[in-house]
Structure 1
């Protein structure tokens, strides 16, 4: 079973360079492209808190996985005879590539999170695509880092911290995590051990209340500018990475604006994880004489349908009955990546596709609107 007990943190002269160099992470396993599906087998499940579990996987062919700390995969379980797609951040470190994990909070009414908690056991199998995502310290060299998270937003920052502890022990990291109560702090025991093992790591937990905890020595309340200034007085000198519910991330940005922080050194997860269970926003209505109308042909099925210029190709294809894998609908996860065989689109993505993939003719259908008739590889 993969564990992070008895960590050692060797400091190397090029620790920061290794940690932030994109070529580093390709050395820890086979390349798993964001549009490629793999068969995964679950071989361990850990209960983190009363409503959070970690699911540890390995590839069915026992191959290693190469990813950057902070990236996510898109799993596609079959639930009730229907394939659903959801993005989950890899909470494990890429320095341990043969076993990798996602850490999932049970969401009331969430089809996939509840299915995972209730049904996925060691030995269970599912398919996944990925890794993908640009929320990573790779490419942002810095010796001083500040990680700000709330709730299950801790997962990408945990991956970054585990990676730093494994291979870059001379980084200066302050990890500030917000939770409802001490019992709701995900990875609390492990972070405490890591802090003892890694001289450059300081962990601060901020809880809204005590819950059933009788004694608590860390801050009570919510993160605000006075608390941040007190706990991390040099925060303006640090590269900041933030992940959590949308309201939390907006509050962090507001307090940093108040402090005149230089946002060139600020990074946050580019999509609201809770929004992944919602349907995409309904597009603005338009009559046929107000918009250009284009014809879309699906080369494999032979299906043809018409769509308006203000529609995304994904939404139009789904309305026409086409089966297109998708998850975030925000141009982040890469699940709907499809080859454009003919025609042109206007695509505004959020990091879910690489330039070399665009050069090969791939497009993200969720954030592409037609500028001509199209032929898709579907």
Structure 2
């Protein structure tokens, strides 16, 4: 029988010892999982969802890059990070092109406060996009290995089905326990491959279908900043208690609670006054921030064509001339239209004085 590499008499790995790359596994285009071991045989102790910082010897001088650990501390023989290269990647691009088994690099950590260990709950809702899936996989694997039936709704967004990182691993777990529910959504499908999941960007309607009991779940979110902002906007609009919302940033993972940034979201308030100017009609109507442009128009005797009234059909699209609105839509308007100044009247709240072409 082969002997275990785990040295139970040794202390857990600390960052005074370099890590040795043991395995490289391609995941999706420009994405790979790098598995490391401690040459001494030391084992790894950390919280699922935490990250490590790698010191990478790129041309021109070493750079330090932070990556979430995609493995689970329930499997302490090794530690893994799953990295995805972006257009401007330097460190990640070097890893994908040059880091091979047998090479050793300096690493620091693990650290971070984004972990289900810090917020125990009976039910979880994991929401991620792109490589933001990595801490969710770590936490899901931990719960799977704990031997208790998990209760996780796992929502993940990707550009296409072929770019869903860890899809097969997650499906293998979900196929064996009813407590792990996978909800994938993609922006477009792959040619000649049937897709039976959700299509389009995550929105309020999708979220309600994916996790009808979302109000009862502890939410963990990770992905690009615009994605996390949209998730927060959705949850706030749906009445979710944001005390149970936790997020990890791509750009600046938080090491300690003292470093955790204060998130200030735009939330329309009942008692705050606003004003809508309908330029074509010459009507100005005072209102509250919690009123929608559509509701103010109807109250003013004006007709704006509308359909669904929750930002899906796009019927109530109008041009904003000036001012700011808070719009939480469900896919009824394109990014290009928003950049050109269009809004959906049914789901836009005036923030101060707003002028619209009605």
In 1, distance between residues paired with 2:158 and 2:34? Answer: 21
Alpha-carbon spacing, 1:215–1:70, altered in 2? closer, same or farther (3 Å): same
Q: CA deviation at 1:168?
A: 4.1
1:76 maps to 2:55: yes
Which residue is equivalent to 1:162?
141
1:111 pairs with one of 84, 90, 114: 90
Distance 1:151 1:30, change over 3 A: farther
Contact 1:169–1:198 (CA<8 Å) still a contact in 2?
no
Asked if 1:125 is matched to 2:87, the reply is no
5+ residue gaps, structure 2: 1-7, 262-358
Contact 1:69 1:163 in 2 (8 A): yes
Gaps of 5+ in 1: 1-26, 276-327, 335-346, 352-378
Asked if 1:47 corresponds to 2:26, the answer is yes
Superposition map of 1:224-303 within 5 A: 224-269=203-248, 271=249, 273=250, 275=251
CA 1:139/1:349 → structure 2, altered by over 3 Å: closer, same or farther?
A: closer
Cα offset, 1:253, TM superposition = 0.1
- Contact kept, 8 Å, 1:75 with 1:87, in 2: the verdict is yes
Show the counterpart of 1:305.
Answer: none
Partner of 1:350: 260
TM-score calculated relative to the size of structure 2: 0.67
Deviation, structure 1 residue 139: 2.5
Counterpart in the other structure of 2:81: 102
1:110-162 C-alpha deviation (Å, 9 max, x unpaired): 11010000001111111100000000011212111110000000000000011
Distance 1:161 1:43, change over 3 A: same
Out of 161, 165, 174, the position equivalent to 2:153 is 174
What CA deviation, in whole Å up to 9, does each residue of 1:171-195 have, x standing for no partner?
2111010000001100011111010
* Residue 63, structure 1, aligned to residue 42, structure 2: yes
Contact 1:176/1:204, CA 8 A, preserved across alignment: yes
For the 8 Å contact 1:240–1:265, the answer to whether it is kept is yes
SS at match of 2:199: coil
Task: Return the TM-score normalized by structure 1.
Answer: 0.64
* SS at 2:152 equivalent: strand
Aligned pair in 2 of structure 1 residues 252, 147: CA closer, same or farther (>3 Å)? same
Distance 1:214 1:99 in 2: 35
Distance in 1 (CA, whole Å) between partners of 2:185 and 2:147 is 26
- Pair member with larger Rg: 2
What is the CA-CA distance between 1:51 and the residue it aligns to? 1.4
How many matched pairs? 253
Offset of residue 109 of structure 1: 2.3
Name the SS for the 2:19 alignment partner: strand
Contact 2:55 2:63 in 1 (8 A): yes
How far the C-alpha of 1:199 sits from its partner, in A, is 2.7
- Hey, what does 1:149 align to over in structure 2? 128
Write the distance in 1 (CA, Å) between the matches of 2:12 and 2:243: 30
Q: Tell me: higher relative CO, structure 1 or 2? Use CA pairs within 8 A at least 6 residues apart.
A: 1
Displacement after TM superposition at 1:198 (Å): 2.5
Distance 1:120 1:99 in 2: 17
- The equivalent position to 2:194 in structure 1, one of 215, 218, 223, is 215
Distance 2:120 2:190 in 1: 39
Equivalent-residue separation in structure 1 for 2:11 and 2:224 (angstroms):
32
CA deviation after TM superposition for structure 1 residue 38, in Å: 2.8
